[in-house]
Structure 1
């Protein structure tokens, strides 16, 4: 490499190193702008993925606008919620959970007034056992807290209570130690019963801490052995993306409501293992393991927007207007969704989202175990990606033109986004998007001027110098890599193409030289345009013959199919030209094509002063020979099985096996196929003819001459002028009259090239 080219290479490479280093530094420092953008890309990944159909284990009993209209404004007497519990329990709910906290006595209870009456009777020394008994009974029946507690205790369903944790010291500064002791006691059912520490140091690990539980009143707290906190911790932009699975108060470790709901549903205790660097694992019994970070934060794999889960209006439950199968054996979460009475939270799908449905999302995710993962080692993968992208672009861009460089950068940019989306959608991996994309954008922006003014000048020089006598594809290759401007070739898999005009010598004898040139130029232009449009390379013209190939210098995806499509389009276009020439009184041209796919040597061949980009090898020879074999069978497009079998894999092209031939100088027969047309264009008659021909060919190879003759005749009854059928029919008759030797292998031996 020349010193000038070294300088061109080194400068962009150095730029790339600096940009990559700065971006890695920014990532380590967690710059707020980049972190904010990363959170937004996660939301976009959710939205691009779309909704996930949840299971049928969960429904929400919602206090919605309809319920407020029918049952009165919130807050309701707790006796009404007791009735809801009774109704759901009778309907067969497996678990009933409250996304509501009952932290103060019910002010709507009449029992306090009855208590006042009892006090007055005592002061006036009025004693009446019947009255006292009645008042005591009436006091219980009007004590809404008692009624709710009794409904919870007597419920056939498991009841999970919710409460919240005070996360700021100023909120509990007025509480005394005894009050905190009481609150801790009432919230005890929400604690993890099984937490294992790997060592003593693990017990000192710092988790998210609360300053006090804001528990339900004692009467209700003691009515159920299940409870959990429903605190949620939004990200800096206010969106809820994660759940704290563990919050510490004093020496107790509290579990969230969703975990406790699932624990009650599965009748398994949640448990965790903590090492000196944080949480190692979390599980619920033997069935469910869920991944958290070392602090216990669990990413929520949202199923979709609001009402992804069934909403049952509480007023419908109270008035027996729900189907019991909407409740039976399910987890029912009771909570508010009416505007103004529920906490408005934001999720990746909705700016305003009801809190109860977040619990439903978490539970469904745990039941289906389709988690989102962002382990620490993904940061290492992100850094590796930044290095690869940065240095890769630094090496690649100087070799490309402005447009190609932009397309490459956009391609890598879009490709990485799609890759991150694929990992998110298919595997739940949250790969960092912003920092690698920033590397791409910054490096491309910084290097664009360098590429425009230096690299583009070099490419223009090469183009001007060589485009007059080299094919455009070869010129492009030289522009991309000037070091390839040397003699030599490489082995490549290609599809070789040969075509020739039928009886062109006879046609040319009937025309004037200028007419021949005009006709031939029109033909060659139309045909080569189709080849080049499909990324084929035109090797050369030999009179009326076109020699081309697919698969070099650039790769062609599904090159066999592409080559066959080109053949069919060329024959279609030639048919259109024949109609035009017929109207103009010009001769009609027919073209024979032969193709084979295989390994060949492709490259610059010739001398130091003059070279051609061409192909050499057995594949090339076979393609050329198959073009000539068309004359034997009366076909116009013959391809080897190496080309046809892969080409027909996607059912885009339709053809038939014609025969196997033994070419002069070859020991192994070549199986040939005729390309007939595009599959969607083939009519039933053609399919029937091909079917009979195929059966006839099988019989021919088994030396069942009578059967073969009958089947070829069936094919001819559909298309009387089918040349391959006529050829094989005549051959069957000859072999029937004069059978072949015992070592006959059915291949037709050609006696000329």
Structure 2
């Protein structure tokens, strides 16, 4: 922790900074921009790109303006249009994405009324004719009559201006609709509505205010909003409610009524059940864009009035009257187009509500994102293998891919939208920070590693460690390793027969040869204890084959000692016989000692057992003994089981084995050796079953074939002793040693 305190502190600072943004403690515009870019990309990648023929857009386009004149057109033409749509075309519903805010003065009726009250007030014929003309020239009245009793929805807008104009429909929910929940809807101080007579004649009305995000794009539209404490509905929601028979509207919240619960959905009760429309806490819904402009069929108003569209093209359709003409300023920036007609935004919303394809943004999304960010961030800080750059890079790529794939899967198959920019930024920033840290400290750490471990491990391992110095430390740690002890039998007597110079030369050659074998098998030299050698495998460089390498080293040490003794004999030196003990298990490895002197060594019960096994080689008159844990991890070696023993300091008995050769060599060995091993294991089975006669018979056959085998002699003497000694009922065949 101390070594990497600066890296940990910087990494945690990044995570906590991003958590503050995710939990809305402050806003980071760059993250918002990245989230918006990701959201737009997901929309573009997954939008169906099909045309929804249920909804038609009646377009006040350039062609219509050229043929019918500049906008606004007189209400007589609008009356003709409404009658044409309902009577001739047979549409299901008509919604206006425009506002009829001012009276129509184009008919001249106002001038006639002035004449009637002025110069022609005494003209009887004029006065008799005027009422009939007024009925024809009151275009607003005629338009209202055309809307009356038909499924028509008028649009209007809210604003924050000083004055209001026109009329708006009654609220859909009263001021107390949110009690006792907090009101978080968008709030307005004014509105721009339609002429009262038109609004009264229409079935419903709805506002068409979008939510303009920080980058000017329209991704959400409020379906309900607040004005003077009451709740009003959007144009798209009003259309859907009319289609569903004026379905009653209610509010759904993400938790029981309390101070923290927020609006989560709008519900419409229909004869077929309840339709839930997901919204955020502000009452806004994500627009489920089907595709780029043209995802709904467009018809020019001029073509409809002139009868130039195919018969039945609009029959039974929802018709939205809007404009794509640039001069009429109803173009929006959206995720699917920088110039997108506002009327088609409403069409997408209506289709999404009818299909149930509007994605939700649950109030808990921020908390969930924060939780994922915290878990992933802490994992990368404390659990990522930064000391192995290749693995760290691979894991980071996999984590990034998992986040992206999971987000796309939830987007494609789920019902909600989750921003992931902060999480992706955390992954990227932590990767850059930690890899940079590793790069800048690498050269210093490499020199430090070489200085620390060069005296213990082979040069090639030091070189390997120096390539990834961040992965190695001399600090104590717990690990499963394999340890080897080797000791020369009768060394004291040998030393007394040689001159000091010859003894030193002999031991240097012996220790040098044995150490070379250990290093060649990637072992770590622990220490020399007089003529004894101690080494271990699996640290400081991790090695999953530590048990196999240690046993291989023991077999090679036994083999090279034969050649070494030939050379010693030629020089008149005595023959050496060495016992080797090998054991595998959990142990503590690290730099241990005092302030005066330290050594990189291993400690633990498994180490002590290896030392005991080396001592037992004298008793059993074999050269190598290994513990059962080592044997279980080296299936490529053929073993001869020696005994089950209880050594000094351990209450639990252990099985001990002698490695004979590799399995590849065993497969080509003399069949007599195979038979010897089979007969020996049968002897052990009879021995443990107290079948002394059978054990002695098989043992006698083995001794006859191998009269010089010390192991067979040990067991022959032991069986003879046991036959003459009464044994307890619980005798289990385990031999107990009371000394080291």
TM bucket (normalised to shorter chain) is 0.5 to 0.7
Of the three residues 16, 19, 25, the one matched with 1:24 is 19
1:323 shift after superposition: 2.7
1:225 and 2:222 are equivalent in the alignment: no
Secondary structure of the 2:205 match is: strand
Tell whether the 8 Å contact from 1:478 to 1:484 is kept in structure 2 after alignment. no
Tell whether the 8 Å contact from 1:13 to 1:391 is kept in structure 2 after alignment. no
Tell whether the 8 Å contact from 1:259 to 1:270 is kept in structure 2 after alignment. no
Q: What residue is the counterpart of 1:188 in the other structure?
A: 169
Residue-by-residue CA offset, 1:199-222 (whole Å, 9 max, x unaligned): 4x44x7353222223211122122
| Alpha-carbon distance in 1 for matches of 2:458, 2:301 | 81
Secondary structure of the 1:606 match is: helix
Map residues 62-81 of structure 1 onto 2, 5 A cutoff.
Answer: 62-81=59-78
Residue-by-residue CA offset, 1:79-122 (whole Å, 9 max, x unaligned): 22222211211222111000010000113223223323433465
Of the three residues 10, 16, 38, the one matched with 1:41 is 38
| Alpha-carbon distance in 1 for matches of 2:347, 2:634 | 65
Q: What residue is the counterpart of 1:143 in the other structure?
A: 138
Q: What residue is the counterpart of 1:163 in the other structure?
A: 156
| Alpha-carbon distance in 2 for matches of 1:271, 1:110 | 46
1:19 shift after superposition: 2.4
Q: What residue is the counterpart of 1:240 in the other structure?
A: 218
Task: Provide closer, same or farther for how the CA distance between residues 215 and 453 of structure 1 changes in structure 2, counting only shifts above 3 A.
Answer: closer
1:264 shift after superposition: 0.6
1:161 shift after superposition: 0.7
Task: Provide closer, same or farther for how the CA distance between residues 448 and 312 of structure 1 changes in structure 2, counting only shifts above 3 A.
Answer: same
| Consecutive unaligned residues in structure 2, runs of 5 or more | 484-543, 556-629, 637-662, 664-740
User: Whose helix fraction is larger, Structure 1's or Structure 2's?
Assistant: 1
1:314 shift after superposition: 0.9
Secondary structure of the 1:243 match is: strand
Secondary structure of the 2:218 match is: coil
Moved more, 605-614 or 62-71: 605-614
Task: Provide closer, same or farther for how the CA distance between residues 206 and 15 of structure 1 changes in structure 2, counting only shifts above 3 A.
Answer: closer
Secondary structure of the 1:371 match is: coil
Provide TM-score, normalisation by structure 1.
Answer: 0.57
1:256 and 2:198 are equivalent in the alignment: no
Matched positions, count: 484
| Alpha-carbon distance in 2 for matches of 1:397, 1:251 | 53
| Alpha-carbon distance in 2 for matches of 1:53, 1:75 | 33
| Alpha-carbon distance in 1 for matches of 2:135, 2:459 | 100
| Alpha-carbon distance in 1 for matches of 2:82, 2:458 | 86
Map residues 644-723 of structure 1 onto 2, 5 A cutoff.
Answer: none
Secondary structure of the 1:340 match is: helix
Q: What residue is the counterpart of 1:284 in the other structure?
A: 268
1:233 shift after superposition: 2.2
Task: Provide closer, same or farther for how the CA distance between residues 481 and 413 of structure 1 changes in structure 2, counting only shifts above 3 A.
Answer: farther
Task: Provide closer, same or farther for how the CA distance between residues 139 and 428 of structure 1 changes in structure 2, counting only shifts above 3 A.
Answer: same
1:421 shift after superposition: 2.5
Secondary structure of the 1:303 match is: coil
1:445 shift after superposition: 2.2
1:188 shift after superposition: 2.5
Secondary structure of the 2:263 match is: strand
Q: What residue is the counterpart of 1:440 in the other structure?
A: 427
Task: Provide closer, same or farther for how the CA distance between residues 414 and 606 of structure 1 changes in structure 2, counting only shifts above 3 A.
Answer: closer
1:244 shift after superposition: 1.6
Of the three residues 117, 128, 132, the one matched with 1:119 is 117
| Alpha-carbon distance in 2 for matches of 1:282, 1:109 | 44
| Alpha-carbon distance in 2 for matches of 1:484, 1:411 | 28
1:14 shift after superposition: 4.3
Residue-by-residue CA offset, 1:175-231 (whole Å, 9 max, x unaligned): 6xxxx8xx5xx3124x215787474x44x7353222223211122122113111111
Tell whether the 8 Å contact from 1:67 to 1:315 is kept in structure 2 after alignment. yes
| Alpha-carbon distance in 2 for matches of 1:479, 1:448 | 11
Task: Provide closer, same or farther for how the CA distance between residues 317 and 214 of structure 1 changes in structure 2, counting only shifts above 3 A.
Answer: same
Residue-by-residue CA offset, 1:681-711 (whole Å, 9 max, x unaligned): xxxxxxxxxxxxxxxxxxxxxxxxxxxxxxx
Task: Provide closer, same or farther for how the CA distance between residues 20 and 615 of structure 1 changes in structure 2, counting only shifts above 3 A.
Answer: same
Q: What residue is the counterpart of 1:305 in the other structure?
A: 292
Q: What residue is the counterpart of 1:375 in the other structure?
A: 362
1:251 shift after superposition: 4.1
| Alpha-carbon distance in 2 for matches of 1:609, 1:327 | 87
Residue-by-residue CA offset, 1:464-490 (whole Å, 9 max, x unaligned): 989989xx9xx99999899988459xx
Moved more, 262-271 or 293-302: 293-302
1:82 and 2:79 are equivalent in the alignment: yes
Secondary structure of the 1:351 match is: strand
1:53 shift after superposition: 3.1
Q: What residue is the counterpart of 2:588 in the other structure?
A: none
Task: Provide closer, same or farther for how the CA distance between residues 96 and 7 of structure 1 changes in structure 2, counting only shifts above 3 A.
Answer: same
Q: What residue is the counterpart of 2:417 in the other structure?
A: 430
1:449 shift after superposition: 2.9
Q: What residue is the counterpart of 1:606 in the other structure?
A: 548
Task: Provide closer, same or farther for how the CA distance between residues 165 and 279 of structure 1 changes in structure 2, counting only shifts above 3 A.
Answer: same
| Consecutive unaligned residues in structure 1, runs of 5 or more | 1-5, 489-601, 618-623, 625-753
1:350 and 2:292 are equivalent in the alignment: no
| Alpha-carbon distance in 2 for matches of 1:57, 1:422 | 29
Tell whether the 8 Å contact from 1:399 to 1:455 is kept in structure 2 after alignment. no
Q: What residue is the counterpart of 2:400 in the other structure?
A: 413
| Alpha-carbon distance in 2 for matches of 1:603, 1:115 | 107
Secondary structure of the 1:109 match is: coil
Tell whether the 8 Å contact from 1:207 to 1:248 is kept in structure 2 after alignment. yes
Tell whether the 8 Å contact from 1:397 to 1:451 is kept in structure 2 after alignment. no
Secondary structure of the 1:242 match is: strand
Task: Provide closer, same or farther for how the CA distance between residues 50 and 244 of structure 1 changes in structure 2, counting only shifts above 3 A.
Answer: closer
Task: Provide closer, same or farther for how the CA distance between residues 218 and 332 of structure 1 changes in structure 2, counting only shifts above 3 A.
Answer: same
1:345 shift after superposition: 1.4
Q: What residue is the counterpart of 2:93 in the other structure?
A: 95
Moved more, 240-249 or 133-142: 133-142
1:400 shift after superposition: 4.7
Secondary structure of the 1:241 match is: strand
Q: What residue is the counterpart of 1:272 in the other structure?
A: 251
Task: Provide closer, same or farther for how the CA distance between residues 259 and 437 of structure 1 changes in structure 2, counting only shifts above 3 A.
Answer: same
| Alpha-carbon distance in 2 for matches of 1:36, 1:384 | 22
1:7 shift after superposition: 5.0
| Alpha-carbon distance in 2 for matches of 1:610, 1:372 | 63
Task: Provide closer, same or farther for how the CA distance between residues 54 and 615 of structure 1 changes in structure 2, counting only shifts above 3 A.
Answer: farther
| Alpha-carbon distance in 2 for matches of 1:369, 1:54 | 17
Q: What residue is the counterpart of 1:333 in the other structure?
A: 320
Task: Provide closer, same or farther for how the CA distance between residues 478 and 63 of structure 1 changes in structure 2, counting only shifts above 3 A.
Answer: same
Q: What residue is the counterpart of 1:751 in the other structure?
A: none
Task: Provide closer, same or farther for how the CA distance between residues 111 and 20 of structure 1 changes in structure 2, counting only shifts above 3 A.
Answer: same
1:45 shift after superposition: 2.0
Moved more, 217-226 or 91-100: 217-226
Task: Provide closer, same or farther for how the CA distance between residues 154 and 383 of structure 1 changes in structure 2, counting only shifts above 3 A.
Answer: closer
Secondary structure of the 1:61 match is: strand
1:363 and 2:356 are equivalent in the alignment: no
Secondary structure of the 1:374 match is: coil
Task: Provide closer, same or farther for how the CA distance between residues 79 and 477 of structure 1 changes in structure 2, counting only shifts above 3 A.
Answer: same
| Alpha-carbon distance in 1 for matches of 2:39, 2:458 | 49
Q: Give the aligned CA root-mean-square deviation in angstroms.
A: 4.1
Tell whether the 8 Å contact from 1:197 to 1:273 is kept in structure 2 after alignment. no
Residue-by-residue CA offset, 1:311-344 (whole Å, 9 max, x unaligned): 1111111111223443122110001111111322
Task: Provide closer, same or farther for how the CA distance between residues 43 and 280 of structure 1 changes in structure 2, counting only shifts above 3 A.
Answer: closer
Tell whether the 8 Å contact from 1:293 to 1:375 is kept in structure 2 after alignment. yes
| Alpha-carbon distance in 2 for matches of 1:198, 1:250 | 13
Tell whether the 8 Å contact from 1:106 to 1:144 is kept in structure 2 after alignment. yes
1:304 shift after superposition: 1.8
